[in-house]
A and B are shown apart, each in its own frame.
Chain A
Amino acid sequence: MQKLLIRILVMALLIICTNIIIFIAPTKSFFVFATIVDKHKLLSESTSPKIVFIGGSSLALGLDSTLIHKKTGLPVVNMGLNGGLGLRYMMNEVLTYIKSGDIIILTPEYDHFQGTLLNGDLNLLWVIQIMPRNLSYLSSWEQYRICLSNIPRFLKEKTLELLTFSPDPVYNRKAFNKYGDFVGHRNLNPAQALGGIHMISREPINERAFAAVEQFVTAINKRGARVVFIFPPLAQVQYQLDGNKEAIKKIYNKLRGIINLYIPSNPSEYIFPNKLFFDTVYHLNGIGVEIRSRKIVRDLSGFLNTTNHQARLLEAVLGNE
């Protein structure tokens, strides 16, 4: 029995060592999550005042930062990557880069306000593995718990990633532009059917998400910056699904209760026809991106409390819209 136990122990140690090697092995440079390095570099190098967008993949695929930059004259950073990072992480990771005069546009997916997505999922491990200092952006025990519980699944995905020697034809690092926008899909044909249709209210509303947003707004204001909330793009088919309209309305009403959070429009203004989406109910296609980005510019026009020069510039530019 002792001989057996020793051998089991040796095998267990071998397995653990293998898993450690897999965990720490560098990801391929073309891997889509590797773009987190570029986004952080962009964020650190952008001069203030700047506009920083926070959100998941709906933001990554759904923003034309070139247009925003052109219309505002301000540097734009699109930090959107994947909703699985969790809203809490997304807000934490930009905080230290924010300076006086910056504008933070919060545009997370609705799912961050339901269930546990506030604290992320397995995908959070990707950004930590690629940039270990991102661990410092975890601020709740729940985030650590989620990371630890997802390690076995993460190791499986990491192994597949290590064994992949060519980039995904659509979702890869090179598909991001200099502002952090994902542009690889803009000239592609949309999918025949949109994925990701689900009931938002299948998970209970998470009050902590609103508390986290409130704390974030307070922290940003202390730095002399402002936060604007823009609703994420959503396909008609998802909006009209049973219970989703009511769930979104609840989220909207709760957000309106947060002091100093500017909300220039309501969720229904960011519901778009299905044909404007690429592959999921959150991912706009090329045409949808342009329509949404122009809408964002119009929404910002009422808010921008900038220097007179910039205000006149903005009025002049927006007068042509």
Chain B
Amino acid sequence: MLFNSLSFLVFFPIVVITYFLSPNRYRWVWLLSASYYFYMCWKIEYIFLIIASTLIDYYCGIQMGKREEKSKRRPFLLLSLLGNLGLLFLFKYFNFFNNSIHQIFNEFNIFYNVPAFEVLLPVGISFYTFQTLSYSIEVYKGKQKPEKHLGIFALYVSFFPQLVAGPIERSVNLLPQFYKTNSFDYTRVTNGMILMAWGFFKKLVIADKLGIFVDAIYNSPHQYTGFPLILATYFFGYQIYCDFSGYSDIAIGAAQIMGIELMRNFERPYFSRSIAEFWRRWHISLSTWFRDYLYIPLGGNRVSEPRLYLNLMIVFIVSGLWHGANWTFVIWGALHGIYLVFSIALSKVMAKTFYMSKTLLFTPTLNLIKTLITFNLVTFAWIFFRSNSLTDAWYIVTHLFTDIEFTLSFGVGFGKTAGIIVIFSIVFMEVVEFVHQQKGLILRQQPIIFRWSFYYVVVISILLFGELYSQSRFIYFQF
């Protein structure tokens, strides 16, 4: 069931109304049923995977809770890791590694005949396995008490607003909230609805519209050179941001309506002044997951410089692989790793060899330059993320500046008017998010005319400019 579908428009109000009408102690039953139903709408059989993951981690959590010493907890942590990562490997990575090994063996004329595993990737598997893993790791560390209520734990794993594409919630944040009594609160519910509407605006008005153009170019890149490739790449940068942050806003808003607070996943990442800052603002739930459960256990930055660089490359390559079983994602991740390594190395060199006054370091002009550089580096890396193959990615990279002709007439995608509308929508979005974040402008505190004008513009834009009929999936569903 997609958020941007008629069935969700019917499903969600029913869930919310029934939620508030139910006695508090039985709400988990209703939410769990709704979450399982939500997931089964994708493919009924895959509910068994999420149940299996739930039972494995519930069991491991309980067993770890009974043991004080970490050495005695370790086998159960390993069982949880094996269970979750095993599922992930089997459904997501088996064919990728199998094909890669097959190609290598072929090169050396060595016989290799392991068949492919013909199965559809279960939606959200990368998200809920990581969510349950974080629970197991926290219980192992002693930072999280094992959840004894199986139903509540199952709800933690499968809570529908964030089940298929995050945010990847930490148990210490999410689990206790399912015990709270949440009554209907006008302010909270309307704030949630506004956030959902904002998410739909980003997804339907901006992301899906840009996707028409991006898909036309990136699905047949060899027909184009120069400007169309450049434009499609920048458009993809905004498509993926609006698609994913839009999804996150809908998820956070939906949960908020029911009194559940999920973590923020994006903080205007394209205004970052460095790659490090970008990763503190983009897909925050995933980057903090990798920081806490991979980067820090590897030693973090408390190691020698070469080891630090190696740690960063490992984290980003794994992060790339998490996004998809394709070498394009690995290259994308590695690029970000290289960016970060380079920026750390460069900053050390500059600190040693140049004296910069504080005034110069923090001038708005310098910040702007840093922001633009970071934005363009990130956009360049998106080429690999979006390309269907390494061949396509290489073609695009080598033809970005070939035969450049500034024209908006490519015979693909949307017309001039629709193009202007989407550009205005992007500017509108950036202004709203800037004002909200930088100025701390709370919408509710504004005059009623202002508030209602904003609501009206958002809703009417969704209805009149949104891609309501394409029912396109969210990009991160494929991960």
- A146 interfacial contact with B, CB 8 Å: no
- B463 interfacial contact with A, CB 8 Å: yes
- Return the chain A residue nearest B461 by Cβ: A159
> A18: which of B186, B460, B468 is its contact (CB, 8 Å)?
B460
Closest Cβ of chain A to B208, distance in Å, is 13
B contact set with A: CB distance below 8 Å? 184, 186, 189-190, 415-418, 420-421, 452, 455-456, 459-460, 463-465, 468-469
Taken together as a complex, chains A and B put the C-alpha atoms of A163 and B419 apart, in Å, by: 12
A4-B186, A163-B417, A163-B421 known; A15 vs B468 contact (CB < 8 Å): no
- A160 interfacial contact with B, CB 8 Å: yes
Closest Cβ of chain A to B418, distance in Å, is 6
Q: What are 21 contact pairs spanning A and B, CB under 8 A?
A: A1-B184, A1-B186, A7-B190, A11-B455, A11-B456, A15-B460, A19-B463, A22-B464, A152-B463, A152-B468, A153-B469, A155-B463, A156-B463, A156-B464, A159-B464, A159-B465, A160-B415, A160-B417, A160-B418, A163-B417, A163-B421
Chain A residues, CB < 8 A from B455: 11
Taken together as a complex, chains A and B put the C-alpha atoms of A7 and B186 apart, in Å, by: 11
- A3 interfacial contact with B, CB 8 Å: yes
**Chain B at the A interface: mostly helix, strand, loop or mixed?**
helix
- A164 lies within 8 A of B417 (CB): yes
Taken together as a complex, chains A and B put the C-alpha atoms of A22 and B463 apart, in Å, by: 12
- A14 interfacial contact with B, CB 8 Å: yes
Taken together as a complex, chains A and B put the C-alpha atoms of A18 and B455 apart, in Å, by: 14
Chain A residues, CB < 8 A from B416: 164
A4-B189, A155-B464, A159-B464 known; A11 vs B459 contact (CB < 8 Å): yes
Mask of A27-45 contacts with B, CB within 8 angstroms, 1/0 = 0000000000000000000
Q: Shortest 6 CB-CB distances between A and B: which pairs?
A: A159-B464, A164-B417, A160-B417, A163-B417, A156-B464, A18-B460
Closest Cβ of chain B to A41, distance in Å, is 29
- Return the chain B residue nearest A166 by Cβ: B416
Mask of A65-89 contacts with B, CB within 8 angstroms, 1/0 = 0000000000000000000000000
Closest Cβ of chain A to B30, distance in Å, is 18
Taken together as a complex, chains A and B put the C-alpha atoms of A22 and B421 apart, in Å, by: 17
Chain A residues, CB < 8 A from B469: 153
- Return the chain B residue nearest A159 by Cβ: B464
Taken together as a complex, chains A and B put the C-alpha atoms of A159 and B464 apart, in Å, by: 7
- B463 lies within 8 A of A4 (CB): no
Chain B residues, CB < 8 A from A153: 469
List 13 other contacts, CB 8 Å, given A15-B460, A155-B464, A163-B420: A3-B186, A4-B189, A4-B190, A15-B463, A22-B464, A156-B463, A156-B464, A159-B464, A159-B465, A160-B415, A160-B417, A160-B421, A163-B421
